[in-house]
Amino acid sequence: MILHYLLNGFLTAGHWYNLSVIALSTVVGLWIGLIPGLGPIMAMAILFPFTFLMDPLAGLLMLASIHVAGTYGGSISAIMINVPGEPASAATTFDGYAMTRQGKVRVALGLSVTGSFIGAIFGSMALILAAQPLVSIALKFGPAEYFSLAMLGLCVVAVASRGATAKGLLMGCLGLAVSFIGTDEVLGYPRFTFGLVQLEAKIGVVPVLIGLFAISELMELMLRGGSISAGGSLSGSLFDGVKATFRYPMAILRGLGIGIFCGLVPGVGAVTANLLAYIVERRVAKDPDRFGQGAPEGVIAPEVSNNACIHAALIPTLALGIPHSAGSALVLVAVTIHGLRPGPMLFSGSGELVYGFFAGLLIGAAMFAIFGLLFTRWFSILTIVSTKLLAPILLVVGLVGAYAYNHSFLDIVYAIVFGLIGFAARRYRFPVIGLVMGIVLGPLAETSFHQALEISSGSYLIFVERPLSAGTLIVCALLLVGPTIWEALGNALWRQKAIASQPMKD
Amino acid sequence: MSDRTSRNGVGERIFAGAIGIIFAGQFLMALRYPSDPRLFPLIISAAGFLLTVALVLGLGLHDRHLGRPEPLPAGRLTLTLVVSPVYALGLWFLGYWVSTLIAIPLVAWLLGYRKRQTIAIVTLVVTVLLGVLFPLLDVPLPLGLLPRLVGF
């Protein structure tokens, strides 16, 4: 039945008018996603009124295509200039940019486009085939589980910073501390604002990321000189990257799992999915020292994950009417405006429009992959341009991008402050990823912490009484103390063996 | 511990210490808030401060990959630290167009780039591209205080 609907959907979405809408929106999304501070949500919001004048399916496809292509576009600048165009590409910078420094920018872009394509296709398939069973998982999550999940995210960061767990935890705490600045989301109480009204709004993720990545990289470039590609030359091709992606099937699977899961649980989001996929890859790697030095899995998993997340996020949006992000909220509004009612029945009724939309998502994934392969090879030239010329451009794009986020000079100040923090953190090997995770997960952690205590009338036992929450917290504890215990046990066994193997003395 | 490692430790400890001051400040400020809004910040700032103390005391600084950071040339470091705040001030005072038309060639020149034609072309292309694209997307660019004062 689904296959029949889907084939009909392809026929509808394949109409030349819908195809041209998808193609044009994909190009817009790619370009907007490239520029830090702009992002696809802004483009979606601006173009939203146009959906009223369009055929319902074309309107929905326009919004979805911009969202999806914009998320992919963010990874292009993340790889080329270490500036995530979109927050959901933050983790892609770590190994993507390292590859660029080695002159392998095209290979990294090939890995990214293939990973993104796979994520988009399988995320869409999860939406089409398994929305209803998957949504039941999302319904099992309450405030206690959300809190445990946020803690898990932070613990994974700390543990993945091998040899620097304390530094990872410290940066996570700093991120949480930054997320407290502004009005308390639960009670509306202004905190750490020094009486300044401007500080009552929370510090946005975009200026923080621009600071941590763009401004700190600008400082590095100015000090280092040369070109981004350390050797001043390019090696490898996009298709080397495309082929290399398939050598890491487990990284793809892990990225998909994390992305779909993060998409299902409202409030978690593509930024977390991207960061978590990177951290998990680093954690499970046999040789984690390769990470940060241009490990292909460090690009593949985060890219698969954020794109799978964007698509899977449509499951709670369409099946429950719970939008997961600003982007899915806009899609939800467009769906309702065109007379559709989000809920389980959406998938069985309104077949032509809904499955036309699903088919359009699959076509959109193919389009951004094609455009990505066609256009990004030209961008790679930027990485062999002298940093003496590139640094001022990065300065302008970074600071104007920070301003664009909220039309506020305060965001420029945030970007500069976090640029300095990022510069020092990189120099002394404090994991910046912990800070980002803390800021991203802070509101979720605090809100769910208070909500859980409200439900339990102040009893902290709620976090251990609910099986899913307790299980997650046990995993957190194991992650933090497990390696130490494991190491101690190993040492004890080794000592015992050494004693046993010593020749007996008279 | 070699001299090289201990020197690195100093930089790390100073950085960790600076973060610790933030946690201490946040803890003290949070004490003045009502019970609910202060609870989570108190927990996190206390945990963060303890971690800082541990790091400052040298516990948890066992990063075997840590090489000594390369020494930073003073002149270039000053330029690096100054350029972003100065451009930000330029955006606020002179506005996007004037400050960007000055900043790109000036920074490129200060960094030692000497191809005048290339600088001119890049300056114009980047300034116009962003100057057109952002307003097109309904994002106003900073107009600056000075142009408004003189009646532009």
* pLDDT digits 0-9 by tens, B121-145: 999 999 999 999 888 877 888 988 8
C-alpha–C-alpha distance, residues A453 and A278, integer Å: 32
> pLDDT at position A345, please?
67
Q: Give the pLDDT confidence of A444-458 residue by residue, as tens digits.
A: 888 889 899 989 988
Q: Give the pLDDT confidence of A391-432 residue by residue, as tens digits.
A: 999 899 889 988 988 888 999 999 999 999 999 998 888 888
Minimal CA–CA distance to A71: which of A121, A126, A32, A99? Answer: A32
**Token couple for B119:** 């600088």
In order of A17, A149, A262, A322, A473, the CA distances from A146 in angstroms are 42, 5, 11, 15, 11
> pLDDT at position B104, please?
95
Number of folded domains that form chain A: 1
Side chain identity, residue A184: D
8 Å CB contact of B126 and A186: no
Assess if residue A505 is contained within a domain: no
Neighbours of A247 (CB within 10 A): 10
Window 347-386 of A: residues touching B by CB (8 A cutoff) are 386
Backbone φ and ψ for A90, nearest 5 degrees, come out as: -55, -45
ipTM score of complex:
0.89
pLDDT band at B6 (very low <50, low <70, confident <90, very high): very low
> pLDDT at position B4, please?
43
Minimal C-alpha gap between B94 and chain A (Å): 13
Minimal C-alpha gap between A223 and chain B (Å): 6
A-B Cβ pairs (cutoff 8 Å, strict) = 190
8 Å CB contact of A396 and B130: yes
Token pair 């910078």: residue: A93
Contacts of B69 in chain A (CB under 8 A): 427-428
Window 27-46 of A: residues touching B by CB (8 A cutoff) are 32, 35, 38, 42-43, 46
8 Å CB contact of A450 and B36: yes
> pLDDT at position A160, please?
67
Q: What is the mean pLDDT of residues B5-34?
A: 86
Domain that holds residue A44: 2-499
Contact (Cβ atoms closer than 8 angstroms) between residue A118 and residue A389 = no
> pLDDT at position A277, please?
92
> pLDDT at position A344, please?
65
Q: What is the mean pLDDT of residues B66-87?
A: 81
Assess if residue A351 is contained within a domain: yes
C-alpha–C-alpha distance, residues B115 and B113, integer Å: 6
Burial degree of A124 (CB within 10 A; 0-12, 13-18, 19+): buried
Minimal CA–CA distance to A156: which of A145, A168, A164? Answer: A168
C-alpha–C-alpha distance, residues A432 and A81, integer Å: 17
8 Å CB contact of A187 and B118: no
Assess if residue A142 is contained within a domain: yes
Dihedral over Cα of B59, B63, B67, B70: its sign: negative
> pLDDT at position B2, please?
40
Contact (Cβ atoms closer than 8 angstroms) between residue A58 and residue A334 = no
User: Is B100 in CB contact (< 8 Å) with chain A?
Assistant: yes
Neighbours of A282 (CB within 10 A): 27
Window 399-418 of A: residues touching B by CB (8 A cutoff) are 399-400, 403-404, 407, 409, 412-413, 415-416
Window 73-92 of B: residues touching A by CB (8 A cutoff) are 73, 76-77, 79-81, 83-85, 87-88, 91-92
Minimal C-alpha gap between A357 and chain B (Å): 26
Residue B62 has pLDDT above 60, yes or no: no
Assess if residue A504 is contained within a domain: no
Say which of B45, B59, B76 has its CB closest to residue A223: B76
Assess if residue A378 is contained within a domain: yes
The segments of chain A whose pLDDT lies below 70 read: 37-38, 132, 135, 138, 160-163, 266-267, 324, 343-351, 483-484, 487, 502-506
Contact (Cβ atoms closer than 8 angstroms) between residue A30 and residue A73 = yes
In order of A37, A169, A205, B39, the CA distances from A280 in angstroms are 28, 16, 22, 30
8 Å CB contact of A393 and B126: yes
Say which of A166, A189, A387 has its CB closest to residue B33: A189
Task: Name the helix (H) or strand (E) containing B8.
Answer: helix B3-30
8 Å CB contact of A42 and B139: yes
Contacts of A195 in chain B (CB under 8 A): none
User: Is B31 in CB contact (< 8 Å) with chain A?
Assistant: no
What SS3 class is residue A191? strand
pLDDT band at B85 (very low <50, low <70, confident <90, very high): very high
Contacts of A164 in chain B (CB under 8 A): 60, 62-63
Contact (Cβ atoms closer than 8 angstroms) between residue A270 and residue A68 = no
Contacts of A49 in chain B (CB under 8 A): none
> pLDDT at position A351, please?
66
pLDDT band at B5 (very low <50, low <70, confident <90, very high): very low
| pTM given for the model | 0.81
> pLDDT at position A503, please?
60
What SS3 class is residue A182? strand
Neighbours of A249 (CB within 10 A): 10
Minimal C-alpha gap between B45 and chain A (Å): 7
Assess if residue A506 is contained within a domain: no
Window 123-152 of B: residues touching A by CB (8 A cutoff) are 126-127, 130, 133-134, 137-142
C-alpha–C-alpha distance, residues A8 and A346, integer Å: 16
Assess if residue A19 is contained within a domain: yes
Contacts of A395 in chain B (CB under 8 A): 83-84, 87, 103, 107
Give the Cα-Cα-Cα angle A70, A358, A6 (nearest 5 degrees): 150
